[in-house]
Amino acid sequence: MIRAAERTAVRAPADPDGELARRFAAGDTGAVREMYARWSGPVYTVAISRLGYRHLAEEALQETFVKAWQAYDNFDPRRGLGPWLYTIARRVALDIARRERRRPITTTLSDTAEAPDATTLSQAWEEWEVRCALRDLPGDERELVRLTHYVGLSQSQIADQLGLPIGTVKSRIHRAHRRLADRLGHLRVRA
Amino acid sequence: MSPADRDHSDAVAGYLGTGVDPGLPAPELVRLDLTRSVLSRAATWANPPPELVDALLDRIAIGRGAGRRSPVRSIALGTLAAAVLVVVGLLAADRLGRPDPERQVALAGTELAPDASATATLRDTPSGVSIRLQIVGLVPAPLGFYYQGWVTGPAGSVPIGTFHLREGDDEPVDLWSGVDLSDYPTLTVTLEPEDGNPASSGQRVLTSQP
């Protein structure tokens, strides 16, 4: 613990993730809350996508942060908090999924209940990255993306719902997607 | 960012927003289709209960305490744990023979909604059975359609309420049954058109097993 803390302290001025992780490892309440505010959404998305049930995803979420706290010595500040937590979250969700498969089925789990477990590595990473990108969008732009993709409204329906001119909605939706495209630019597949 | 990168970002933004291909390379389109698919999933927009952070802080506080535990403190904690076990045992014994007032049933998505699942919490009340559905992965009902819950048994099916999920599936859906679920043990959810026809469409999206 001390060795990792020293390593982080040297890098802290240029490494906000490392500083946050160091405070998190010390059990600093503010740091735990900050870590949770930043990463609970992406961890929850990966967990619920893999496990399918909220109660299991909530268990995975809490277990991920506890394991991160316990395994702080393994944190490499050069990799950043996001990829580190993602790795822990996936492993925790996998362990819970295995445990659930071993349990006798007392309620009802048809074959389709296995579907969430079929998430591929690339899908899970995409989910993580998209969730992080959405977190970083301004709230009004995130809502426009939600209405477009999740609720499935057309631009004119969104304009009606929000009481905005259609032209304004179009430009704001494009701006939101442009911001998403920039934020996810590192995932670009170059031909 | 170079002008070429800016053009690419604009093209990606256009494709994400409209799904119309502006001439992007095929491998990039495959990735962007995955992005669009992720954006449409309930899991992407689901939020954990905010109170979980307090439970997390409690666990970390307990872990920190364990790391500094002295032998005397261990004995004291052991004694306390034994006392708690005795109390829990007595409470459990007191409950023996009483029916559990609350139980859970899992529902799985059908071929119409393979990504969907739900947990139903059933609670007997003086006025009927409260059925609280926590649903995951079920898309909002399209305009002109709604979801309907049913309980089904040998005597037929009884409707237990309707909903649409158009504001998201974060909140549980509360349904009510006025019939005894031991006679109607299967819980299903169907997609129904707004056509005034009270009969089931048969389009099952979620189902439990009896």
Cross-strand pairs, B145: B193
What are B59-74's pLDDT values in tens digits?
887 776 655 333 344 4
Sign of CA dihedral A134, A135, A141, A145: positive
Is the minimum CB–CB distance between A112 and chain B shorter than 8 Å? yes
Residue type, A154: S
Pairwise CA distance, residues B125 & A128, whole Å = 41
CB A130 within 8 A of CB A124: no
**Alpha carbon separation from B205 to A156, B75, B81 (Å, rounded):** 29, 54, 46
Average pLDDT, chain A: 80
* pLDDT (average), residues A71-97: 85
* Residue A68 pLDDT greater than 60, yes or no: yes
B7, B15, B35, B135: best to mutate for the A interface, most A CBs within 10 A: B35
* Residue A104 pLDDT greater than 80, yes or no: no
CB B149 within 8 A of CB B175: yes
Closest CA to B39 of A71, A153, A94, A127: A127
Who wins on pLDDT, B74 or A167?
A167
A181 contacts B134? CB cut-off 8 A? no
Give me the pLDDT at residue A71, please: 84
Kindly report whether the global pTM for this prediction surpasses the value 0.90: no
Who wins on pLDDT, B145 or A68?
A68
Sheet arrangement for strand B156-163: B156-163, B145-153, B186-193, B204-207, B102-109, B117-125, B128-136, B173-177
* pLDDT (average), residues A78-105: 82
| CB < 8 Å from B in window 126-185 of A | 126-127, 130-131, 134, 145-146, 148-152, 173-174, 177-178, 180-182, 184-185
* pLDDT (average), residues B13-41: 90
What are B91-128's pLDDT values in tens digits?
444 443 344 568 888 898 887 787 888 999 998 888 88
**Band of residue B35 on the pLDDT scale cut at 50, 70, 90:** very high
A181 contacts B31? CB cut-off 8 A? no
B28, B29, B39, B104: best to mutate for the A interface, most A CBs within 10 A: B39
What are B41-51's pLDDT values in tens digits?
999 999 998 88
Nearest to B56 among A36, A148, A174 (CB): A36
Pairwise CA distance, residues B46 & A56, whole Å = 14
Give me the pLDDT at residue A75, please: 78
Nearest to A53 among B114, B115, B119 (CB): B119
What are B182-203's pLDDT values in tens digits?
888 889 998 888 877 777 887 8
Average pLDDT, chain B: 79
What are A108-164's pLDDT values in tens digits?
333 333 344 445 667 888 899 999 999 999 999 999 999 999 999 999 999 999 999
Is the minimum CB–CB distance between A122 and chain B shorter than 8 Å? yes
B41 contacts A150? CB cut-off 8 A? yes
Give me the pLDDT at residue B191, please: 85
Nearest to A149 among B13, B40, B208 (CB): B40
**Band of residue A45 on the pLDDT scale cut at 50, 70, 90:** very high
B8, B51, B117: best to mutate for the A interface, most A CBs within 10 A: B117
Backbone angles phi, psi at B167, to 5 degrees: -100, 20
B208 contacts A107? CB cut-off 8 A? yes
* pLDDT (average), residues A23-33: 82
* Residue B13 pLDDT greater than 70, yes or no: yes
